[in-house]
Amino acid sequence: MEKTVVAKQMYLRGSLEKVQGVLVTREGKHEIPFSGTIGFKATLSPRGTYTLALDRLNLVAKGVKTAKGNSGVIGLSLAAPQFETRHNLRTGAISSNFMSTLHYELIDKVKGYRNVEKVKGEMDAFIPFTETMKGAFKGNFPQNMKLDEKAKITISGDMQMDLSSSVLGLFDKLTIKFGKIVVELAKISVETLKIQPVFIGTGPADPHATGKAFDTLRARSNELWGKCGSVRCLKFVYNEPVYINNNAYKVLDSSTEADNLRAEVDVTDAIEIFVAEKMSTSLTCAWGGGATFSSGTASSKIVTSDEQLNVPCPCPASCATYCPLGPCSCGALNNYHLAHELGHVINLDHPSGAYGMAPSTATSVMEPSGFCNDNPDIQSAKNCRNASNPLFYWGKTMIYRCIGSPDIND
Using CA atoms in the order 312, 204, 262, 344, what is the torsion angle rounded to 10 degrees? -70
168 and 196 in a single domain? The answer is no
In a domain, 199, yes or no: yes
31 and 166 in a single domain? The answer is yes
In a domain, 125, yes or no: no
138 and 241 in a single domain? The answer is no
- What CATH number did the domain enclosing 242 receive? 3.40.390.10
CA atoms within 13 A on the CB side of 26: 8
In a domain, 121, yes or no: no
Identify whether the C-beta of residue 128 lies closer than 8 Å to the C-beta of residue 294.
Answer: yes
pLDDT tens digits along 302-339: 999 999 999 999 999 999 999 999 999 999 999 999 99
In a domain, 2, yes or no: no
Split at pLDDT 50, 70, 90, the class of 186 is confident
102 and 213 in a single domain? The answer is no
Split at pLDDT 50, 70, 90, the class of 182 is very high
389 and 262 in a single domain? The answer is yes
The range of the structural domain enclosing residue 174 comes to: 8-115+130-186
CA distance 200 to 206: 10
213 and 360 in a single domain? The answer is yes
In a domain, 234, yes or no: yes
For the chain, the domain total comes to: 2
Among 159, 186, 213, identify where a domain stops: 186
170 and 197 in a single domain? The answer is no
Split at pLDDT 50, 70, 90, the class of 61 is very high
Q: Which H or E run includes 216? A: helix 214-226
In a domain, 320, yes or no: yes
pLDDT of residue 69 exceeding 90, the answer is yes
In a domain, 123, yes or no: no
157 and 242 in a single domain? The answer is no
In a domain, 407, yes or no: no
